[in-house]
Amino acid sequence: MSAAACDDCLRRTALIAALAPWLDIEWRRRSAPAGVLSLPDDALIALDESGRVARAHAAFSPGRARERITAAELKAVCRCSGRYPDRLRELADPPAVLHMAGDPAALEPVESVAIVGARRGTAYGLEVSRSLGRRLTAAGIPVVSGMAIGVDSAAHVGALEHAAPPRAAAATSAGVAEERRRSVSRPRRAAAPVAVLAGGADVAYPASRRRLHAQLVQRGCVVSELPPGFTAYRWCFVARNRLIAGLAQLTVVVEATEHSGSLTTADFAQQLGRPVGAVPGPVTSRFSTGTNSLLAAGAGVVRDARDVLDQLFGPSDARSAEPPPPAVPIEPRLRRLLDAIERGHGSLAELTSDPAAIPRILQDLTDLELRGLVRREFGGRYVRALEGRP
């Protein structure tokens, strides 16, 4: 598959891209974004009274569009194709064409989970997101997100720590479901992550995530409904969120303020009749207002990857009967240090005011880090890691 999209679908995609400035205005006028992108071509063309878009639409060349896709090293599939993801067909406005960088097999119809959240996530939110991405991927569950700064990128980074080339779709029988639950503690072949971009799939957005974009292309798939080289407008990010929800069987919101854009992904998932989960957060934090509201409205509680698997496949009686993993012994001195980090005292200055104690504190922090109990974040702060069980 290279540019395996029909002429009409390529023409429709070019029309959406050409109308992007008008759609920024039109999007805000309607109660549902689907009201815009589901309009027929004639209605969309009428948004541009100058006639420029109409002339470009009439002169559109499918051959040149395919050449641009190939030159950008992308693959394309349209909704007329049997290779088009069936889950996206459930949208009110499925995109005419999907442009893909990487392996299209990552979009095969297996259970997948969207992990989304705040761009300015807290250390807690970023650690939870990274852990979910890592553990779900190790369990064979593809992670879908938007590659945005914050929670989205953290989920992709975690996924890449266990990502492998895409594999063939697996049956979703009860036996497979139970195997995937157990694989949270017993690693299996990992799944391929999927990133959905608001701009062209060939362009890293934000630009600071170029390396992450390259890794996702190499070990998973980057997707966009817009043509190569396209620069995103504001409406494109909400449009992107509907695709994230559309590609996932379950959407998990890790952190979100009251008006966070990530909540629109949960809205789209609910409109599709698909479950939504949320990670609980401190009631005193504005970054948890949106997620705690989702929980109050009935979203599933997500504390770790096991909760996600329970929501995907149903509770596991077999797993609940298994004894919990043995606790890892930890010395009282290290326990006190770990408790301080859990309370948010993550910098060296917060952990001690005695210069003579600094070498010992640093040695203990290294010990905790080697045990997988803490993680050193950007700026030198330490946060509690979710993988260790002291």
Per mean pLDDT, which range of 8-12, 22-26, 170-174, 367-371 is the poorest?
A: 170-174
* The pLDDT of residue 83: 92
Q: Which residue has the tokens 């009686």?
A: 317
Estimate the share of the chain in helix, then strand, then coil, as percent rounded to the nearest 5: 45, 10, 40
Residue 186 has pLDDT above 90, yes or no: no
Answer whether residue 175 shows pLDDT above 50: no
- CA distances (Å), origin 264, targets 152, 251, 321, 359: 14, 11, 38, 47
Q: Decide: 157 and 121 in contact? Cβ < 8 Å.
A: no
Lowest average pLDDT, out of 219-233, 302-316, 368-382, goes to 368-382
> Could you give the CA distance from residue 240 to residue 98 in angstroms, rounded to a whole number?
12
Q: Is pLDDT of 168 > 50?
A: no
pLDDT-above-90 percentage for the chain: 58
Answer whether residue 372 shows pLDDT above 90.
no
Between 177 and 123, the more confident residue is 123
Say what the alpha-carbon torsion angle 280, 121, 386, 290 is, to the nearest 10 degrees.
Answer: 10
pLDDT band at 173 (very low <50, low <70, confident <90, very high): very low
pLDDT at 33: 55
Give the position of tokens 């203990």: 364
Residue, of 383 and 297, whose pLDDT is higher: 297
Give the tens place of pLDDT for each residue, 87-118: 999 998 999 999 999 999 999 878 899 999 99
Residue 190 DSSP SS3: coil
Mean pLDDT of 178-198: 66
Quickly list DSSP for 247-276.
Answer: H-SEEEE----TT-THHHHHHHHHHTT--E
CA distances from 283 to 263, 301, 353 (A): 17, 15, 30
- How many angstroms separate the CA atoms of 123 and 282, rounded? 13
In angstroms, rounded to a whole number, what is the distance separating the alpha carbons of residues 145 and 130?
A: 12
Residue 364: pLDDT band (50, 70, 90) is: confident
* Structure tokens belonging to residue 87: 């889950």
- Nearest one of 130, 147, 141, 135 to 108, comparing CA atoms: 141
**CATH, range 107-195+236-321:** 3.40.50.450
Q: Do residues 227 and 171 make contact, with C-beta atoms less than 8 angstroms apart?
A: no
Q: How far is CA 341 from the centre of its chain?
A: 28
Residue 164 has a pLDDT of 58
Is the pLDDT assigned to residue 71 strictly greater than 80? yes
Mean pLDDT of 214-221: 95
| H-state helical runs in the chain | 7-18, 20-29, 34-37, 41-45, 52-58, 62-71, 123-138, 151-160, 174-182, 210-219, 234-247, 262-271, 289-296, 305-313, 317-321, 332-342, 348-351, 358-370
Instruction: State the pLDDT at residue 369.
Output: 79
- Phi-psi sector, 274: left (phi>0), alpha (psi -120 to 50), beta: beta
Lowest mean pLDDT among 49-58, 73-82, 158-167: 158-167
What per-residue confidence (pLDDT) applies to 340? 85
Of the candidates 23, 41, 2, 55, the one whose C-alpha atom is nearest the C-alpha of residue 198 is 23
Locus of tokens 């492998």: 164
pTM assigned to the model: 0.80
Least confident of 132-136, 190-194, 289-293: 190-194
pLDDT at 267: 94
Q: Is the pLDDT of residue 29 over 80?
A: no
What are the structural domain ranges in the chain? 3-105, 107-195+236-321, 332-384
Residues in CB range of 87: below 8 A, 6 or more apart: 109, 246, 247, 248, 249
Instruction: Give pLDDT tens digits for 234-277.
Output: 999 999 999 999 999 999 999 999 888 899 999 999 999 999 99
Q: Answer whether residue 5 shows pLDDT above 70.
A: yes
The span from the CA of 106 to the CA of 232, in Å, is 24
Q: What is the pLDDT of residue 72?
A: 95
CA geometry: angle 103, 109, 110, nearest 5 deg: 95
Average of per-residue pLDDT across 353-369: 84
CA distances in angstroms from 316 to 170, 185, 284, listed in the order given: 19, 14, 33
Q: What is the pLDDT of residue 185?
A: 45
| pLDDT value of residue 62 | 95
- For residue 326, whether the previous peptide bond is cis, meaning omega lies within 30 degrees of 0, is no
